[in-house]
Amino acid sequence: MQLEDKFALVTGAGRGMGRAISLQLADEGANIAVSDIDAASAEDTAVAVKQLGRESVVLPADMGNLADIDRMFQQAKDTFGRIDVVVNNAGVTKYLDIMDIQEEDWDRIHQINAKGVFFCMQRAAKELIAQRQGGRIINIASIAGKGYAGTSNAAYAASKGAVISMTHIAALQLGKYDINVNAICPGATLTTMGAETMAGRAASSGQSIAELEQARDSKIPIGRANEPEDIAAMAVFLSGPGGRNITGQAFNVDGGLVMH
Q: Where are the domains of the chain?
A: 7-189+227-253
- Residue 137 exposure: Cα atoms within 13 Å on the Cβ side: 35
Note the pLDDT tens digit of each residue in 206-248: 999 999 999 999 999 999 999 999 999 999 999 999 999 999 9
Split at pLDDT 50, 70, 90, the class of 125 is: very high
For residue 260, is pLDDT > 90?
Answer: no
Note the pLDDT tens digit of each residue in 28-65: 999 999 999 999 999 999 999 999 999 999 999 999 99
CATH: 2.60.40.740, 3.40.50.720, 3.20.20.10, 3.40.190.10. Which one for 7-189+227-253?
A: 3.40.50.720
pLDDT, average across residues 82-96: 97
Active site (annotated) includes residue 148: no
For residue 169, is pLDDT > 90?
Answer: yes
pTM: 0.96
Which pLDDT score, from 0 to 100, does residue 189 have?
A: 95
User: Over the chain, what is the mean pLDDT?
Assistant: 96
For residues 138-173, one letter each, b for 16 or more C-beta atoms within 10 angstroms of the residue's C-beta and e for the rest, the string is bbbbbbbbbebebbbbbbbbbbbbbbbebbbebbee
3-state secondary structure of 165: helix
pLDDT, average across residues 165-174: 98
Task: Give, in order, the Cα–Cα distances in Å from 2 to each of 29, 57, 198.
Answer: 7, 21, 36
pLDDT, average across residues 246-255: 98
Could you tell me which residues come within 8 angstroms of residue 129 by beta carbon, excluding any fewer than 6 positions away?
A: 174, 177, 179
Catalytic residue, from 95, 148, 156, 177: name it: 156
pLDDT, average across residues 72-89: 97
Which pLDDT score, from 0 to 100, does residue 1 have?
A: 86
**What phi and psi, each to the nearest 5 degrees, are found at residue 125?**
-60, -40
For residue 20, is pLDDT > 90?
Answer: yes
Distance CA 175, CA 257 (A): 30
Distance CA 158, CA 74 (A): 30
| Percent of the chain predicted with pLDDT > 90 | 95
Note the pLDDT tens digit of each residue in 185-210: 999 999 989 898 989 989 988 999 99
| Percent of the chain predicted with pLDDT > 70 | 100
